[in-house]
Structure 1
Amino acid sequence: MADGTKGKKVLFICLGNICRSPIAEAVFQWVVKKQRGLVGWEVDSAAIGSWHVGKDPDQRAIQVMKRHSIPMNHQARQLKKSDFAEFDYIIGMDHDNISDIKADAPPKHNAVVELFGSYDPEKELIIRDPYYDDDDLGFVKCYEQCLRCSRGFLDSLSV
């Protein structure tokens, strides 16, 4: 088990960085600061693809976060090589994200690449992608999964 007593740098990744990964970023940041009272953590999110770079999160994601009083302040960006040196953990939302992250990784890096759902006590491995939904129900599901996984990840570090 890793030493969780000091802050870590965590980067969440999804395909476009406007739905799942900014939700994961916001929820994780909220759990770290508000629920656990931890300091010294750096949290960010990024995309595999470049389609949405510079854009705000999906409005449905923003609305779900507002309903839960969780601040969300992010503009989409793409995963870059320097992230593998800067972050302790690079966490993907699904198996395709993990494959793409590993394919983009430099030959030598210290970042731990993991599937966020592997920390879900309810064992839902894949974080729900709500992008093509007509309503916000998928965003609510994504929020719930990210909340459970955030707690599970921190519990695994004993913080």
Structure 2
Amino acid sequence: MATPSGRSVLFVCLGNICRSPIAEAVFRKMATDNGAVDKWRIDSAATSTYEIGNPPDHRGQACMKRHGVSMRHVARQVTKDDFMTFDHILCMDESNLRDLNKKASSVKNSKAKIELLGSYDPEKQLIIQDPYYGSDKDFETVYEQCVRCCRAFLEQHS
């Protein structure tokens, strides 16, 4: 269900254990710090079934802990209902975007605006690369991109 003010955002990546839970946690902290968290429904999900039920990647959790951002999430897959109840679905790369648009086309009452989270990046880095096979530095890069993008998204939609 969308919040009474109609503000809701779902962050999406392939497995929902790296990029999207980082974006969700970053956005939730920003909305909390701005006193706006009660006006938002915030969640994250996966396009795949690979990691359903798993916690966020331990490297992502460590990165968030270093930045003082709490993270509590269990991976789930995007559902048809998400397209009808979320205002914004923000994904990390072109593959996610294709998968989401394909899924949305089979949902009769889809209302969600599907975009790349990177489209909000003031530094114009459109794609947020998957850090899963990378290093701690790659998780830090994802965090920094999410901070920039979420800040711009929140400012634009507050």
Alignment of 1:127 onto 2:128? yes
Deviation at 1:107, TM superposition (A): 3.9
TM-score (norm. length: structure 2): 0.92
Identity of aligned pairs, percent? Answer: 51
Structure 1 runs of 4+ off > 3 angstroms? none
Per the alignment, residue 55 of structure 1 pairs with 54
Structure-1 separation of matches of 2:136 and 2:6: 33
- Per-residue CA deviations over 1:31-68 (Å, capped at 9, x if unaligned) read 1111x221321110000000100000000000000001
Residue type of the partner of 1:148? R
Aligned pair count reads 151
- CA drift of 1:103 comes to 0.5
- Structure with bigger helix share is 2
Match of 1:156 in 2: 156
Q: Which runs of 5 or more residues in structure 1 are unaligned?
A: 1-5
TM, length-normalised to structure 1: 0.92
Deviation at residue 109 of structure 1 after TM alignment: 1.2
Match of 1:138 in 2: 138
- CA displacement at 1:108 relative to structure 2: 3.4
- In structure 2, the residue matched to 1:11 is 10
What is the CA-CA distance between 1:22 and the residue it aligns to?
0.4
| Correspondences of 1:2-151 after superposition (within 5 Å) | 6=5, 8-34=7-33, 36-38=34-36, 39-105=38-104, 106-133=107-134, 135-151=135-151
Q: Find the aligned partners of 1:24 and 1:7 in 2 and give their Cα distance.
A: 20
Query: What SS does structure 1 have at the residue aligned with 2:10?
Result: strand
Identify if the C-alpha distance between structure 1 residues 57 and 82 changes in structure 2 by more than 3 Å, giving closer, same or farther: same
